[in-house]
Structure 1
Amino acid sequence: MKEKGAKVLAPSAIRAEAGKYRDLPGMPGHTDNIEAITDVQSVIGTYRRSCELAKSAGFDGVELLAQGGYLPQQFLSSRANHRTDNYGGSVGNRCRFTLELVDAIAAVFNGHEYICVKINPTDHLNDSIVDFGEMKETYTYLITELVKRKVGIINLGRRGAETSPGSGEFFGPLPRPEGYPLPRGYDPVLDFGKLVKFPGSPTLLMANHDYTVEAADTLVGAGKLDMITFARAFIHNPDLVPRIIHGVPLATNDRGAWVYYGLDKRPEEGYNDWPVASTT
């Protein structure tokens, strides 16, 4: 992008710290080629256009990523968002961008129920960490507003919390930075989940970060969550669903994190060449 004269858009022109986003050979660190967004509605229009294309391709809805250091989470965080207009400062202002995105997407699909919003309150990937007080206030407000809008699903992650201290084989160990403690044993999914899962709630509660099949079965069975999804495990378990149904242990990835990036010479390598469980 930099070589072509394009800038990376952000709420404020603040460079992320803390090294590389993904620790792979040849991957660059965080960029300083940043430009603060001046026309917020134009950016929202880009999201809207992407959703229009998705709908024309046959998709019934979309998931909005508002975690992992992506643009919506940058607006949510006072660490990345130093704006002094209606999109920065107060909790309501910092949440405005994400909520306006959700409303724009809902207009495309004719309803908020066709939207899933993925958030990770305790995330610290991509220099996205904030202190516990700000995190609680921000996500309490955001989740409440999303449920008011009757979004279909809120996907809550727990990366960065003591209950999920690492990030599996994908990103490797991610110890929480000093100076940003959480209450001992804190689980953001169980904490914020209460704002989503209650009698009569119009919104389903989903989670999907480093859960075992057994833990997922227990939490859903106890009514704590509506669903828990498995994503990366599908790569090295092409028969993931039959394995779960029949109680066959999941295979582990013995090829390294690079398989998730498609860096092989042939596109099928590391992607659809994994063995299924033996049926003998």
Structure 2
Amino acid sequence: MSHLLQPIILGDSLELRNRIVMGSMTRNRNIDENKPTEASVTHYSVRARDGVGLIVAEGTFVYLNGAEWQYAPLMFDESHAQAWKKVTDAVHQEGGKIFFQPWHPGRIQNENMPMLKESGYPVLAPSRIPAAGGKFRVLEGAPGHTHAITEIEDPKEIVAQFATSVRLAKQAGFDGIELLCQGGYLLHSFLSSRSNNRTDAYGGSVENRCRFVLEVVDAIIEVWGPRTVGIKICPTDDYNDSTVSYSELSETYSYLIRQCVARDLAFINLSRRGSVVGHVHDEFNNPKPVGMELPPGYEPLNEFGPLVKHPESRTMLMVNHEYTVEEAEALVKEGKVDLVTFARPFISNPDMITRIRKGIPLAVNNRGAAVHYGPYQDVNENYNDWPYAA
């Protein structure tokens, strides 16, 4: 895997040891008032020690609006920054680099989840359009996403929350930002006519639906500069009731990508979720509505990759979602992408880079779905107890 393991400069000067990125994964382990613990320090530093090129930390809520997982992390005051600094310091001591991923879940919540119930903070979204599906297993009866949505009156107030969060991330010692803009969450829901029926400057046309996302991007750039900032998108996403027609996704993301490249972002992380999982069904295996099918054999990289990788662009292209190591090597070798994200393989492979370098097969998760979000008896269970290759 000689090409995948080559070093690369991200942005203007960030030296990465290779082209492999450990993707963000909410693991529900922030049991100390939604702050990372020593278990998190161990988890991230072990993978940095093994030599991964870049780590993207788990999606972190920018305010008291995180309710999809009970123990996902927060970053909106000094105490959160201090807790995260223990993680970033440990990663840096192992020669690693780590990016912060700010996140706002938007309508993908339930107001009876502990964080929202205790804070009294409303479920905010671009429009009062509930998301279908969802299952909050920690609540009695495992209810779905809420119908009690408050339409955001002034999106600039949420932009300010993102700005505060990324300032704290800089204070916490992160090396850069990957903005989460997929999954049916708040930024993604502004982009989609399925969840955004506003009639003001933030709804309707492609330019208006992209306005909020680009205002958040600009606020982050003001703090960090563009060359340490990336954005994670998924045009074909079918998660959390986010499916749209091919014509809409094509028009929306062509515009958004061009705008991000024009801002000289360090990278765009392009996910293919929804296109390879099965383009005629959503994530709950329900048929997608008529008119929302993708062209046969559709691959987002083929359509959107050239909008990022061209002679006038300094923005790098990262891809993710269920790529094999062999696929990743081929794409880097052919010059189609610069970086490849792996996520779940890093759960059961704390020595994933060593395995790839030595040609040792990756370990598979043989412990079931509980490794992702729990339940667990000890915070290190299924988190810091995976074996290394012999």
1:90 to 205, 219, 240: 205
Match of 1:34 in 2: 149
Match of 2:49 in 1: none
The 1-side partners of 2:283 and 2:252 are apart by: 27
Contact 1:160 1:176 in 2 (8 A): no
1:185 aligns with 2:300: no
Match of 1:253 in 2: 365
Q: TM-score, length-normalised on structure 2? A: 0.66
Q: Secondary structure at the match of 2:203?
A: coil
Match of 2:278 in 1: 165
Question: Letter of the aligned partner of 1:269 in structure 2?
Answer: E
Question: Letter of the aligned partner of 1:123 in structure 2?
Answer: D
Deviations along 1:48-77, whole A, 9 cap, x unmatched? Answer: 110011000111211101000111100000
Deviations along 1:81-107, whole A, 9 cap, x unmatched? Answer: 011110000000000000000000011
Question: Letter of the aligned partner of 1:121 in structure 2?
Answer: P
Match of 1:65 in 2: 180
Question: Letter of the aligned partner of 1:76 in structure 2?
Answer: L
Question: Letter of the aligned partner of 1:248 in structure 2?
Answer: I
Match of 1:217 in 2: 329
Q: Give the drift of 1:200.
A: 3.9
Contact 1:21 1:125 in 2 (8 A): no
The 1-side partners of 2:354 and 2:284 are apart by: 30
Match of 2:127 in 1: 12
The verdict on how the C-alpha distance between 1:22 and 1:244 changes in structure 2, with shifts beyond 3 A counting, is farther
The 2-side partners of 1:172 and 1:40 are apart by: 29
Root mean square deviation, CA, Å: 2.0
Question: Letter of the aligned partner of 1:205 in structure 2?
Answer: L
Contact 1:160 1:174 in 2 (8 A): no
The 1-side partners of 2:283 and 2:365 are apart by: 13
**Matches of residues 2-151 of structure 1 in structure 2 within 5 Å?**
2=112, 3-4=117-118, 5-17=120-132, 19-20=133-134, 27-109=142-224, 111-151=225-265
Contact 2:194 2:242 in 1 (8 A): yes
Contact 2:182 2:232 in 1 (8 A): yes
**Unpaired runs of at least 5, structure 1:** none
The 2-side partners of 1:61 and 1:174 are apart by: 36
Question: Letter of the aligned partner of 2:146 in structure 1?
Answer: T
Match of 2:88 in 1: none
Match of 1:156 in 2: 270
Deviations along 1:201-251, whole A, 9 cap, x unmatched? Answer: 210000110000001001110011111111211110111000111111111
Question: Letter of the aligned partner of 2:206 in structure 1?
Answer: V
The 2-side partners of 1:257 and 1:188 are apart by: 28
Q: Give the drift of 1:125.
A: 0.4
Question: Letter of the aligned partner of 1:229 in structure 2?
Answer: T
Question: Letter of the aligned partner of 2:371 in structure 1?
Answer: V
Match of 2:340 in 1: 228
Q: Give the drift of 1:114.
A: 1.2
Question: Letter of the aligned partner of 1:214 in structure 2?
Answer: E
Q: Secondary structure at the match of 2:251?
A: helix
Q: Give the drift of 1:262.
A: 4.0
Question: Letter of the aligned partner of 2:311 in structure 1?
Answer: P
Question: Letter of the aligned partner of 2:150 in structure 1?
Answer: E
Question: Letter of the aligned partner of 2:270 in structure 1?
Answer: L
Q: Give the drift of 1:257.
A: 1.9
- Structure with bigger RCO (C-alpha 8 Å, 6+ apart): 2
Q: Give the drift of 1:256.
A: 1.5
Q: Please identify, of 143-152 and 1-10, the stretch whose mean Cα deviation from structure 2 is larger.
A: 1-10
1:264 aligns with 2:376: yes
Contact 2:238 2:283 in 1 (8 A): no
Q: Give the drift of 1:33.
A: 2.1
Q: Give the drift of 1:178.
A: 3.9
Q: Percent identity?
A: 52
